[in-house]
A and B are shown apart, each in its own frame.
Chain A
């Protein structure tokens, strides 16, 4: 393509992107089509990738096509393997795309579609994609070292220790919230509970099939598992229609919570090949397929967004979770915009597979853009619902009441009309007894997704099948994170306690497995139980806590990245990571402060504890709620304090390097020329 034509093409992309962004930002009083969001996102990502990531690659990181990567130098055919860039891209995307980008935007939709959409786009282009890209490249240049190792080497011992605590905290809080989302999606739902229960024997069967009958044929086994899961969805409909069977699979939230806690413990202690690995394959199979299907559904249906761009709840009085648009929209949507957890993946398996340095741009920056697009699709799925329906599903009983008529009246009085009859009909159409008070985002996302799928394929007659397909997809996905997360947490605890008493550090010693599994399950089980018993639905307290922990990890990652850039003597280019760092510090510290000290009891943990202490008659249940509030405040304060220490340690180091009092020396692996460059030329 000639240069003038290229300029014209990018000018056209810019104009179309500006038009789409202008439409979603400035249109008031009339509904817009979801394609405007898709168009704005595609143009923004195209421009961000073509210009900003290229600038970061060329000027800040100076990607070197002549430098051999650890995959080439340390190739062992096991974890260090030079791999085709598209294959690494797929592998990396499959690892970073979890339930976060699906749930966060659905919850943040209570502010309207505009704040969340803008944050997803701007946050990803200037924050999340940059974080993933630079951490991936820095890990590649350090023999694939992890974030904690890089923090220890480049920032100081404190950085490494804090990253460790932050990771463990995030895992525990994430698992508690994830389990709560599943509980809220399955409570009083025999169809959903049966389908998800069936995924356990299906995974066990897959494990045995893979081990004994067709060793190594994972794709074939996953396809077989998928067919069985689809049969389980149809079987769930039959179960829900049988009064006897339906009773067996109808559980309240506390019972489901106990079942999931026991399941988490069993999954952590069972052999990996039997349950965890096949479930992981099955969930990845369903995840990739469903995301592709959702993208096609949105393009085919081109739905109208019924949610307004901004709702009255930007003031902080929202029913889904309390807190104003700043800072809470920015911690509610973490994955999809900026997620600290990605830095773990970008410094985990991916850097050990990168064949050439320039490919880090496509894998690091590009895969995060794809994840951000998933978040946009989740936002669309939430906003195609009528706002009244969205709030009826997502509002806890503590806010709108549990009686259908009262809830419908309260929500209608907010200016979002909904009727009890309409909600009853919707629940019937998706095969549920009720859709009220189904907090956590998953049921609302499932209704939105079912609406898009059903209107693209099959019509209203198959709405219930699509809804339960979506619930199965989310629950399967989340339970896989629960299995894997419990194991990762268990390994971390074993590693740490192994320093105190050597036998407990042996990862295959059964007493150690049981003890540390019990510790991790008890930790996230505590948060799950707290959420189940919370009259405000649990998500109000726990999702912000997870968002804060995740964004604090991003703060640590960006501190490491900025330190390395300054040590590379490129301080004038450090705003590339420094600006997102400053933004994240402002957002997370403000949010954390509000969650601890805000006088509004719906926002501040301590204010809520004071309100309970003052108003209720003393009893065991109230004392437990007060204890939970104080513990949540303490967890938030501890995380904030630790990250503040890393921040101070980093700033102190930057000052010393910039003033010449400390040598600017990065700990990169020595340069070795790549043989791939010569092979390509020859």
Chain B
């Protein structure tokens, strides 16, 4: 059961880009902050807005 909850939480973190932000700060060696999140959002912008969403 714990494993299932962990997977669901991981999926939600991926869907809601929290995991992507964690990867970003680890890759850029930054601390979580308003500035690093703004930088993350700038990097995401082109990729996210070009991503098709289904009908």
- Within the assembled complex, what's the spacing in Å between the Cα atoms of A118 and B26? 49
Say whether B17 contacts A342, CB under 8 Å: no
- Within the assembled complex, what's the spacing in Å between the Cα atoms of A344 and B54? 8
**B55's contact among A91, A212, A281, A335, by CB below 8 Å, is which?**
A335
**A284's contact among B15, B27, B32, B55, by CB below 8 Å, is which?**
B15
Closest to B23 in A: A77
Which residues of A approach B to under 8 Å, CB–CB? 77-79, 81, 83-84, 86-91, 94-100, 167, 170, 174, 210-212, 215-219, 222, 272-273, 276-277, 281, 284-285, 288, 334-335, 339, 341-342, 344-345, 348-349, 480-481, 484-485, 487-488, 491, 507, 546, 550
Known interface pairs A83-B14, A215-B32, A216-B18; A98-B54 also in contact (CB < 8 Å): yes
B4-43 near A? 1/0 per residue, CB < 8 Å = 0001101111111111111110110000111011101101
Which residues of B approach A to under 8 Å, CB–CB? 7-8, 10-24, 26-27, 32-34, 36-38, 40-41, 43-55
Which residues of chain A have C-beta atoms less than 8 A from B34's C-beta?
A: 211-212, 215
Closest to B49 in A: A487
Which residues of chain A have C-beta atoms less than 8 A from B14's C-beta?
A: 83, 87-88, 90-91
Which residues of chain B have C-beta atoms less than 8 A from A507's C-beta?
A: 46
Closest to A84 in B: B10
Which residues of chain B have C-beta atoms less than 8 A from A210's C-beta?
A: 37
Least CB distance, B42 to chain A, in whole angstroms: 8
Say whether B55 contacts A273, CB under 8 Å: no
- Within the assembled complex, what's the spacing in Å between the Cα atoms of A551 and B28? 43
Q: Which 10 A-B pairs have the closest CB atoms?
A: A215-B37, A90-B11, A100-B55, A218-B16, A98-B54, A77-B27, A487-B49, A344-B52, A216-B21, A96-B54
Known interface pairs A78-B23, A94-B15; A277-B7 also in contact (CB < 8 Å): no
Say whether B11 contacts A272, CB under 8 Å: no
Name, among B7, B11, B37, the residue most crowded by chain A CB atoms within 10 Å (CB to CB). Answer: B11
**B53's contact among A77, A215, A481, A546, by CB below 8 Å, is which?**
A481
Closest to B16 in A: A218
Say whether A342 contacts B41, CB under 8 Å: no
11 further A-B contacts with Cβ under 8 Å, apart from A78-B47, A281-B17, are A81-B23, A87-B19, A88-B14, A89-B11, A174-B55, A216-B21, A219-B18, A272-B44, A339-B55, A348-B52, A485-B53
- Within the assembled complex, what's the spacing in Å between the Cα atoms of A86 and B47? 22
Say whether A219 contacts B12, CB under 8 Å: yes
Least CB distance, A139 to chain B, in whole angstroms: 13
Which residues of chain B have C-beta atoms less than 8 A from A79's C-beta?
A: 47
- Within the assembled complex, what's the spacing in Å between the Cα atoms of A83 and B55? 25
Closest to A100 in B: B55
Closest to A549 in B: B55
Closest to B15 in A: A94
Closest to A507 in B: B46
**A277's contact among B48, B50, B53, by CB below 8 Å, is which?**
B48
Say whether B54 contacts A100, CB under 8 Å: yes
Can you pick out 20 interface pairs between chain A and chain B where the beta carbons lie within 8 Å of each other?
A: A78-B24, A78-B43, A84-B10, A91-B11, A95-B51, A96-B54, A98-B54, A99-B55, A100-B55, A216-B21, A216-B32, A216-B40, A218-B16, A218-B21, A273-B45, A281-B17, A284-B15, A288-B15, A341-B52, A345-B52
